[in-house]
Amino acid sequence: MAKSKGTEKIQRIKNEYHKVINNYGAQIVSINRITRSRMDSPNMFKNADFSPKTIRRLIDEGEKKAIDFVDGNKQTRL
């Protein structure tokens, strides 16, 4: 019986996770989803803007959200 693509993907993730734990001693203790904010007035042209400036801005926003989230959770883990 052939495995589904989802099952294969889960197995690859598990293998990678165990490799990281065994080789480096790291352990994933939580996973948090950070999403992009909704636009105030979305339209086709704003959603189709793939300019380097827009992509860089979106990456910077995502990095800031990730740092803010980690910094906010440090207080609860200490």
Full domain range(s) for residue 77:
34-78
Return the top range by mean pLDDT from 7-11, 29-33, 46-50, 69-73: 7-11
Q: Are residues 10 and 39 in the same domain?
A: no
Question: What is the rounded CA–CA span in Å between residue 31 and residue 17?
Answer: 13
pLDDT score for 27: 73
Quick check: helix, strand or coil at residue 6? helix
Number of domains the chain contains: 2
Whether the pLDDT of residue 37 is over 50: the answer is yes
Residue 37 CA, distance from chain mean position: 14
Q: Are residues 50 and 39 in the same domain?
A: yes
CA nearest 36: which of 55, 11, 12, 13? Answer: 55
Whether the pLDDT of residue 78 is over 60: the answer is no
pLDDT score for 44: 61
Question: What is the rounded CA–CA span in Å between residue 24 and residue 14?
Answer: 15
Q: Are residues 38 and 67 in the same domain?
A: yes
Q: What percent of the chain has pLDDT over 90?
A: 8
